[in-house]
Amino acid sequence: MTPRSWQWLWRAWALLAAAVLLAPILIVVPMSFTNSSTLAFPPEGLSLRWYSELFTNPQWTLRIPVSVETAFATAMLATVLGTLAALGMTRGSFPGRGLLTGLFLAPLVVPIIDLAVGDYFVWALGWQVGPVGFGGGLSGTVPGLILAHTVLAFPFPFITVSTALTTVDRTLELAAAGLGANPWRTFRRVTLPLIRTGVITGAIFAFLTSWDEVVVASFLASPRVSTVPVQIFTELRQSYDPTAAAISSVLLAAAVVLVGLLALIPVLSRRTYGRSVAVEIVRPDGGIAAVAT
């Protein structure tokens, strides 16, 4: 075959792969606009009735705030903790650093069902070791969901901030100290602005981790307090209610917007932290004759 036809073959293959990957995601969107009362593909008619259902049916109006609160709080908590951990791991030197880094990354590799069962026992039932009690009573509460999701989401800001920190020139922090900035001011004015991209990226990933998490949330959910993904799962097991497709589309839209934001970060930071080459021509008397940028 000619190189050209090879090229077409590769393109077709890539398209096929993309289609297989995207189909299950994209099929949900048209289904959510159906007019019939059960889920079907292709959808019958066109209507927004299932979207309005989201705002009227208490089944959903109770779940959406829980999901949003949990995801926001998880993103905040995981990002703060992940940033602190990343600072400690990259800046500090102490025995057991490697082991600790491994522990911080563990939520990525530990089977999620193990975490869910563990979360259930610790947060829901509580641990009683002699006189010391820990956890318990957090089943079916938003704080319980936040704590459990923070464990899952923690590695993302930890990784992104660690990576960002390795690119920060330590001399800049010394310079700030030399200019009179205490450690907190140095972090706030110099380090944090330079790792901003890593922090935002980590926060977005942490948010999304909580936003679509089903397994742990279903262990900790109660009939009164539960999240949107858990509710979708429950609904679909009972009926083919198209509301599930509508809310799935909303989740998808939120994720797409956030990832889009992620793609925008480099563009935004280039505006403020740009690199360009400047050429200076110095006259013999020391004045600057021309500066070309």
Partner 1 sequence: MAFLEIRDLTKVYGEKVVLDELNLSAQDGEFISLLGPSGCGKTTALRLIAGFLQPDAGSIAVNGREITNLPAHRRNIGMVFQSYALFPHMTVRQNIAFGLEQRRFSRGEISKAVDESLDMVRLNGFASRRPAELSGGQQQRVALARALVFKPQLLLLDESLSALDKKLRVQMQLELRQIQKEVGVTAVFVTHDHEEALTMSDRVAVMRNGRIVQLDTPSNVYRAPVDGFVAESLGEANFMHGSVRSKDRSGFVLDLGDGLTLAIATDHPVDVGETCTVAIRPEDIELAPAQSASSELVGHVRSIAFAGNTTLYVIEALHREIRVRRPNNAATENGFALDQEVALAWNSGAALVLSDRQGVS
Task: By CB under 8 A, name the binding residues for partner 1.
Answer: 169, 171-172, 174-183, 185-186, 189-190, 193-194, 272-276, 278-280, 282, 286-288, 291, 293
Nearer to partner 1, 1 or 288 (CB): 288
Shortest spacing between CB 83 and partner 1, in angstroms: 17
Helix axes 243-272, 196-211, angle to 10 degrees: 180
CA distance linking residue 97 with residue 104, whole number of Å: 11
> β-pairing, 132-134 with 127-129?
antiparallel
For residue 242, cis peptide bond before it (omega within 30 degrees of 0): no
Distance from C-alpha of 182 to C-alpha of 196, rounded to nearest angstrom: 20
- Of residues 17 and 282, the one with the C-beta less far from partner 1: 282
46 vs 278 by CB, closer to partner 1:
278
Task: Name which of 186 and 248 has its Cβ closer to partner 1.
Answer: 186
> Number of H helices and number of E strands within the chain?
16, 4
CB of 273 to partner 1, least distance (A): 5
Shortest distance, position 169 Cβ to partner 1, whole Å: 7
Please say which residue, 197 or 209, places its beta carbon nearer to partner 1. 197
> Residue 12, Cβ neighbours under 10 Å: how many?
10
53 phi, psi to nearest 5 deg: -55, -35
Q: In the complex, what is the shortest distance from the CB of residue 291 to partner 1, in angstroms, rounded to a whole number?
A: 7
Q: How many CB atoms lie within 10 A of CB 282?
A: 10
> Minimum distance between the CB of residue 208 and partner 1, rounded to whole angstroms?
27
